[in-house]
Homo-oligomer: A and B are copies of this chain.
Amino acid sequence: MPVGTQATVKAITPENLVELGAEIILANTYHLFLRPGHELIRDLGGLHRFMNWDRPILTDSGGFQIFSLRELAKITEEGASFKSHLDGSSLFLSPEDAVAVQEALGADIMMCLDTCIPYPADRNETLAATELTSRWAGRSRATQKETGQLLFGIVQGGMYPDMRALAVEQLLEIGFDGYALGGLSVGESRELMLEITEHTAQLLPQEYSIYLMGVGTPEDLVESVFRGVDMFDCVMPTRNARNGMLFTSRGRVVIKNSQYSNDPRPPDESCGCYTCRNYSRAYLRHLYMSREILAYHLNTIHNLYYFVSLMGAMREAIENDTFLQFRNNFYALRQENVYYT
């Protein structure tokens, strides 16, 4: 799932997204709350019309940005106080506000405001933040209007399996349309991330979508799906594209490397994206070295196509009951990594 912070998926158009197979995008509540403001977007007909996207939109709650972008964020029972990263003005967002903002935006899937637990954190700190998140989740569900918009709860609980279980229990008690795993990929080892993911996913009933927030590499996606995750969001495909890193079926291509200066091949010879169908590594390297905007555009199209296709291939493998074979093949191709850096 691509990420679009400023009412856009960076460097590409909605038509590009449709062409590469994206079925849903994410918009950041925090960013749109600050600029241009959710009321302005509502008055202009909602986020779908504003950004010319008629497929589903998932909005995050704003919590992650509040805690990660601002050192001065302060949490109380009531909500989160923070300063705008744009102009330093003091702002406040309660769980009720977060839902209201997402309703105004017209999100198809909304997220409850949650607290973020730093890593490492001790049991007391983790318990307090986890229970506050659950109380906020209850308030979020209670304030929601009957608009047909879905609302997901976010499972916190840090790196403590018993607290993850507590969080799941409390959220299931409230009852949501889907469940997200928060507080992962925050500095812990990959092994621990996968362990907590697997543990938590197994506690959630199979009929709900499980959404792992902020993850990750292609390898992370494969391992997390293997452990029961259905949905992801991450800046990695788009941000790395703008930094000149292309994901391929055989590994990563760092396009500025001089080995590609006269390479007539597409980034990934087995890829069917617009970029791979029409451009050589030599051309993409030239654009990147020349800091041309088209470099960001073409690289982003490729990386998103790769991630979207990877998710599609995993869905198909699950339906055909061939996921283990898919996973083996995924790694086997990477072992043949002869010319990619």
Question: Are the C-beta atoms of A6 and B286 separated by less than 8 Å?
Answer: yes
B293 x A293 contact (CB < 8 A): yes
* Interface members, chain A 251-309 (any B CB < 8 Å): 261-262, 264, 278-280, 282-283, 285-287, 289-290, 292-294, 296-298
Interface residues on A, range: 35 or more
Closest to A295 in B: B8
Answer yes or no: A128 CB below 8 A from chain B CBs. Answer: no
Nearest Cβ in chain B — how far from A49, in angstroms? 9
Q: How many copies does the complex hold?
A: 2
Q: Residue A36 at the B interface, CB < 8 A? A: yes
Q: How many Å lie between the Cα of A294 and that of B4 in the bound state?
A: 11
Complex Cα–Cα for A325 and B281 (A): 50
Whether A282 lies near B13 (C-beta < 8 A) is: no
Residue A165, interface by CB 8 Å: no
Is residue A194 within 8 Å, beta carbon to beta carbon, of the partner chain? no
Residues of B with C-beta under 8 A to A296: 293
CA distance A294 to B51 in the complex (A): 11
Q: Is the CB of B294 within 8 A of A44?
A: no
The reply to whether A290 and B35 form a contact with Cβ atoms under 8 Å apart is yes
Q: How far is the CA of A50 from the CA of B284 in the complex (A)?
A: 10
Chain B CB within 8 A of A213 CB:
no
Task: Give Cα distance in the complex from A78 to B84, angstroms.
Answer: 61
CB-nearest residue of chain B relative to A286?
B36
Q: How far is the CB of A130 from chain B (nearest CB, A)?
A: 34
Q: Cβ of A174 < 8 Å from any Cβ of B?
A: no
Within 8 A of B (CB), among A1-47: 6-8, 10-13, 35-36, 40, 43-45
Instruction: Pick 23 A–B contacts, CB within 8 A, sort by A.
Output: A6-B286, A6-B292, A7-B283, A7-B286, A8-B287, A8-B294, A10-B294, A11-B293, A11-B294, A11-B297, A12-B294, A13-B297, A13-B298, A35-B290, A40-B261, A43-B262, A44-B280, A50-B280, A50-B282, A50-B283, A50-B286, A52-B279, A52-B283
13 additional contacts (CB under 8 A) given A11-B294, A36-B261, A44-B280: A6-B292, A7-B283, A7-B286, A8-B294, A11-B297, A12-B294, A35-B286, A35-B290, A36-B285, A40-B261, A40-B262, A44-B283, A52-B278
